[in-house]
Structure 1
C-alpha cells in the first residue's frame, strides 16, 4: 500500500506501544517534526525500482504431472535457453524454488507464497544463461527451506530416486532428486544448515556448499544473512567444478562478498591425490546417530586415497561437536527476525531486495495456521530467545569465530578435512 503518515492520534498510539511516555505536547511536536519526512518517502515510492535486467525470454511454465514428474522434484517446468555458446552449452539445469527466475512462479516451498512471480533473475541464473546453460524449470524445496526430510514442501513429498520410499534430504530436495534421476545434468541449491550437502548425500550426487560469499546470494530467498550460501549440485565432481566456475565471483550487489578470490576450478581435475594431506576428523565418526556402515564406507575410501599416494592422519577438533549448538540461536532467532521483523528478506546489506517477494510475504500472519511445523517451531522458540535480549544469538556469533579458528588451524597443516557428510543413509519419511 502507499505510504501514509499517521495523524497525531496514531503517533500517540505508537508512542504508547514503544513505552515512550510522551505528553500530548510532545506527541504534537513529534508529529510536526516527522511529517516533514513524508515528501522524501513519497519521492522514493514514485521512482522506478532498480532491479537487475532480465536478458533471456521465458514463459511462466506449467506444473508437470505423472510420468513427467515421477519423483515430484519439479515445481514448475519452463525451458529457458541461454547464450548460443559458452562453457555450459549442452548442459541442462534445475533451479531451486527459493531462487529468483523472472516470470516463473516461485513459492519457496510455501503455501503462503502461492502466486508470487519474481521480476528479476538471481545472479546465478543470469550467469548460467550467459554461459550457455539451458534451464528446464524450478525444483521442489522444503517449506521456506526450513527442513531436511523432503516432506514439508507445499507440493508434497519428494521421492529419493536411488532409494524409493526414503527421503531425498532437504531443503534442496528437488535439486538433488532431479540430478540423481538424470532429469537434468546440474542444479542450483542453497544451504544454511546442510541444505545442499544432506540431499546430495542422501541421493548419491555431488553437492558443494561454497565458502561464504564466494557465490553471490543476490536474488535468493534467505534464512539468516550470516550463513546463507548458494552452490552447485551435479552427478560428477567435474560438473560441480564447472558450475562453480560459472557462478562464483563478486557481482557488485551482494553485501556478503568482500575480496572474493575465484579460481579455474576445472583445471584442478585429473591431478590425482599423490601428496595430498588428509586430516580425518575424529568427531565426525562414531556419533550417537551414526550407522556403522556409513563410517565403514568412508574409512574404506580414505584407505583407498592413501593407497593412491595421499598422506592420512586422524585429527581431533573438540569444538566440532559444539557447532550444532552454536547454530541453534543463530538459525532460530535470526530466522524469527527474518520472518517477523524482516519481511521475509531481513536487513543486512543484501543489495537487491525483491519487492515482489516482500509483498507476497506480508500476508503470512493471516495464514499462520498453515505454516509447516518447523516454521511454527522457529516462531515459538524465536520469540522465547528474543525475550532474552538477543544475548544467546550474539554470544553464539562470537563463539563461532573460535569454531572457525579450530578448523582453520588444522587446514594450515592439511589440504582437506574428511568425515561423513551425513552419519546415516537416506532416512524413511517421518510420520
Structure 2
C-alpha cells in the first residue's frame, strides 16, 4: 500500500490550523519538499507490524442474555485456559473491558468502540495465563472508565449484588459485581482516581491499587499515563497477594515502569500479624461534606480493632490531604482530554502502541454526542483550561504532586501504614433514567476525595471491607510507602482472619 499523498487543499488546511500563513502559491513547493517524507512513510507502512505473541487458544465468546447476566456485569463471556499448573491454577478471572484480549470484543463501556476486536493480549493477560489462571470473559466498565459509580456504561447500569438497586461502584463496575457475587475468584481492573478501590468499598471485597508502574499497563486502554494503574480485585487477601506476585514486574514495554524492586514476594507476611505495625489514622480522611456518619464511625471502630491485634494505632494530621483531590483534578481532566485527542495513546513515549485501538478510536468525535454527561463535562473542562491557559495548570498540578507526596512520606517516618475511609459514603441508589445532567455527574464523581490523591502520588493503597450498615459494605483504605504492598497485605490479612466483616454491623443510634 502506498501512503496517500497530501493534496494542495490538505496543506492549505494544515497551514491555517497551525498558523503558518502560507500563500496558495507556496503550497506547490511544499508538496515537492514533503515527497521525501512521504517516501519514508511508505517504507514504514510496508514493514511487518510489531506485535506481542498470542499463545493461548480462545474463541470470540458470546454476549450473554439478561437471564445469564443478572447484574449486567458481563460484556462478553468466553473461556481462555492458561497452563495446567501455576500459582493461579484453578482460579477464575474476569478482565475489565479496557484490557486487550486478542480475538475477543472490547468496547470499554463506550458506544464508539462497539465492534472493536483487539489483535494483541495485554501483558497482564499473558502473565495470568502463564500462571494457570482461566479467563471467563470481559466485564462491563463505565464509559471510557470516567465514572466512579456504575450507571454510565453504554450497555446499561451494573447492579450491586449486595443490595438491589444500588451502585456497584466504578469504573471497574462489572468486575465488582462478578467478584462480590462469587462468579469469579479474581478480576483485573484499572484505577485512575479510585476505580478499583471505590467498587471494593461499595460492593465489599479487596481492591488493591499497587505502586504506580508495578504492574505493566501494556495493552490496556489508557486514560492519563501518570494516573494509570492496573488494580487487583478479589474476595480474599491471599488471592490478591498471589495475583500481584503473578502480575508485577518489568515488561520493557511500559514507560510507567521505573526503579522497580527485584523481589515480588507479597505472601510471606500474610500470617505475621500486626504486633510490629504502626498505623496512622489520617484525621483529614474523615468528615468530608458528604461523609456518612456510619461510614466514619465504622472505619474508626475498625482502626481501634487493630489495637486488639497488637498494632500501635494513633491519629495523624496531614492537612495537604484535604487538597489532594483538587491537585488531581487538572491532571485528570486535561490529561484525559489530551490523550483522547491523541487517539488514546498520544506520542513522545517508548513502548507498545496498540495501533488497532488507535484506528478504532480515530473518529470518536463523530460519536461524541453519545457521550454521557460525566465524560462531556470532563472534555469541556479539559479543552477549556488547556486552551485558555496552555496547560499551565496541568503542569502546576503535576509540580504540586511532589509536595503532596512529601507530606505522606513525612508521615511514614512515624507510621508503617496510613488508614482512612476508602470513600465517604456507602453505595448510593442507581439513578433513574430522567436524572438531570447535574445529578448524573455528581453521582459519577462524588466519592473519590480520599482515593484520587494516591493516583497522583502513585502510593500503593488497598480497600478492605471493615463492616456494613443497612445491608451495604463499608470500606477502609490502607496506604503504604512505594513498593510496600507486602505491609498492606500483612495488616489486611490479620484483620480478615480476626473479623468477619459482615458481622461488624454499625450500631445505629
For Structure 1 versus Structure 2, the TM-score category normalised by the shorter chain is: over 0.9
Separation in 1, partners of 2:68, 2:9: 58
Partner of 2:121: 121
Partner of 1:276: 277
Q: Call closer, same or farther: CA 1:109–1:84 in 2, change over 3 Å.
A: same
Partner of 2:416: 415
Partner of 1:314: 315
Match of 2:385, SS state, is: helix
Match of 1:45, SS state, is: helix
Contact 1:284–1:420 (8 Å) recurs in 2: yes
Partner of 1:264: 265
Partner of 2:250: 250
Match of 2:252, SS state, is: coil
1:22 Cα deviation (Å)? 2.6
Question: TM-score, normalization: structure 1?
Answer: 0.97
- Summarize deviations over 1:183-209 as a string: whole Å, max 9, x none: 000100000011001001100000011
Partner of 1:359: 359
1:23 Cα deviation (Å)? 4.3
Contact 1:217–1:229 (8 Å) recurs in 2: yes
1:67 Cα deviation (Å)? 3.5
1:347 Cα deviation (Å)? 2.6
Partner of 1:335: 336
Match of 1:83, SS state, is: coil
Partner of 1:394: 395
Partner of 2:300: 299
Partner of 1:65: 65
Partner of 1:78: 78
Question: TM-score, normalization: structure 2?
Answer: 0.82
Contact 1:225–1:348 (8 Å) recurs in 2: no
What are structure 2's unaligned runs of at least 5 residues? 436-509
Partner of 2:42: 42
Partner of 1:56: 56
Match of 2:86, SS state, is: coil
Separation in 1, partners of 2:18, 2:348: 24
Separation in 2, partners of 1:105, 1:7: 36
1:274 Cα deviation (Å)? 0.5
1:2 Cα deviation (Å)? 6.2
Separation in 1, partners of 2:120, 2:86: 22
Partner of 2:192: 192
Separation in 2, partners of 1:76, 1:2: 37
Match of 2:276, SS state, is: coil
Contact 1:82–1:131 (8 Å) recurs in 2: yes
The number of residues matched between the two structures is 430
Contact 1:225–1:346 (8 Å) recurs in 2: no
RMSD over equivalenced CA pairs, Å: 1.4
Partner of 2:425: 424
What are structure 1's unaligned runs of at least 5 residues? none
Match of 2:34, SS state, is: helix
Separation in 1, partners of 2:348, 2:302: 41
Q: Call closer, same or farther: CA 1:74–1:13 in 2, change over 3 Å.
A: closer
Contact 1:63–1:77 (8 Å) recurs in 2: yes
Which of structures 1 and 2 has the larger relative contact order (alpha carbons within 8 angstroms, sep 6+)?
2
Partner of 2:206: 206
